[in-house]
Amino acid sequence: MTYVFAQSPDLLRRFLKDKIDDKIKTRRDRFNQKMKGDTKRSYLKLIEREYEGIIKKIVAEKRRLNPSDLADAAVSNDLVKKVVSFQRNRLSAIPEKYKKYSKYAIQKPLRTENPPMLIVPPYFYNANADWHRVNIDLAARTRSIVTDLPVFGMVFCSTEMIETSGDRIIEDFGRLKLDGFLLWVNDFDGRQGFRQLRVVRGFVKALAGLKKPVVSMYGDAFSLVLAYSGLTGYCCGICYAERKAADQDVDVEGGMPVRYYIERLKKKVQVKLEAPRIPLTKYQLGCNCEICNQHGNYSELDDANSREHFMLVRQAEIDSIRAGQSAEDFSNSLKSAYDRYKDEPDLSPLTHLSHWSKLLT
Ligand SMILES: [Zn+2]
């Protein structure tokens, strides 16, 4: 699911997050410091049939890829060619499991053929200056061979890296004449400390200064705050994958408990655990969406219902931003929710509301 803050989201309408996500998972496991057990069959197929080259070589050698493996221009060009071709040719149909959500699509009917709206250069977790140089080099090579589609550079690093080298990262990417940026801040979410939130907010603002779209690969409700610093849009699963670490196992998302998003508090609670204990109506935190109106108490909601509730509520939040809600109004509403509920033990912690409110003023 990709959310776009702009009034006119045409620019990004065909940008389907799951496509890119598939690729990231694949590459992250292959390149990215973590290799547990056997390589998944789907990845092996990808390596055998699509990537070949250096990727096939390091997998056969059962080792990690190093920046020096990509020092040779021929090797890098080959990787870029393969990754670009994979995106052009293999990711052009909408996955079956997302077809049920097509009723929320901006464009109807949803086309069955869905060529990429943009191309993402091959990239790696920017763990140090060497990997940063590799990423810049691969992005430059991608830019030089892709002339018919937008190329979005991937900025993938930690908050610490942003703090020490954020200006340099933006300067180097800025020289490449890319069409936009994808941002993946390692394992970041909006409940982290004020300092981290401020670092990310500052980085988004500076990156947006390049006057190109900036889309965050993972995001929770803090992305709504970042919209005011120039974030163009963000992606997340429907109720999951709001943050992701470079070394996160790919299959941990299955079997999550049903969670319910409380719009005013910008947080989720586990339905089974909390619903008997926290009567949201008592706190005047009830929801008026179609789903909640049908079911009454949120304890009645199953996984599909709570996800649908989330989508409807998030849509309304995005619509407020698109309609021109001022930073001051948004800040005030976060602050008033914080003041009102901060001392309710059932609802805490709510410090994120206070942090977010401050960042908007
Ligand atoms: Zn609802």
Average pLDDT over residues 77-105: 81
Give per-residue pLDDT as tens, 168-196: 999 999 999 999 999 999 999 999 999 99
- Model confidence at 10, pLDDT cuts 50, 70, 90, reads very low
- Model confidence at 328, pLDDT cuts 50, 70, 90, reads very high
Give per-residue pLDDT as tens, 300-323: 899 999 999 999 999 999 999 999
Check pLDDT > 50 for residue 8. no
- Model confidence at 100, pLDDT cuts 50, 70, 90, reads confident
Give per-residue pLDDT as tens, 12-43: 433 333 334 444 444 444 444 444 445 667 77
pTM (two decimals): 0.84
Q: What's the gap in Å between 349 CA and the centre of ligand 1? A: 22
Pairwise CA distance, residues 50 & 43, whole Å: 10
Q: What's the gap in Å between 108 CA and the centre of ligand 1? A: 24
Q: What's the gap in Å between 267 CA and the centre of ligand 1? A: 13
Q: What's the gap in Å between 12 CA and the centre of ligand 1? A: 27
Pairwise CA distance, residues 313 & 319, whole Å: 10
Please report the pLDDT score of residue 3 as a whole number: 67
141 contacts 121 by C-beta, under 8 angstroms = yes
Task: Look at residues 238, 162, 237, 239 and name the one whose alpha carbon lies nearest to residue 201.
Answer: 162
Q: What's the gap in Å between 314 CA and the centre of ligand 1? A: 10
Check pLDDT > 50 for residue 198. yes
Q: What's the gap in Å between 292 CA and the centre of ligand 1? A: 4
Give per-residue pLDDT as tens, 118-141: 999 999 999 999 999 999 999 999
- Dig out the tokens for 321 from the structure: 């931003």
- Span of 22-36, 88-102, 194-208 with lowest mean pLDDT: 22-36
Instruction: Please give the mean pLDDT across all residues of the chain.
Output: 86
Please report the pLDDT score of residue 275 as a whole number: 85
Q: What's the gap in Å between 238 CA and the centre of ligand 1? A: 14
Q: Left, alpha or beta for 239 (phi > 0: left; psi -120 to 50: alpha)?
A: left
Q: What's the gap in Å between 177 CA and the centre of ligand 1? A: 43
Average pLDDT over residues 258-287: 91
- Cα–Cα distances in angstroms (integers) from residue 263 to residues 75, 226, 258, 318, 326, in the given order: 49, 17, 16, 12, 18
Q: What's the gap in Å between 290 CA and the centre of ligand 1? A: 7
Q: What's the gap in Å between 192 CA and the centre of ligand 1? A: 26
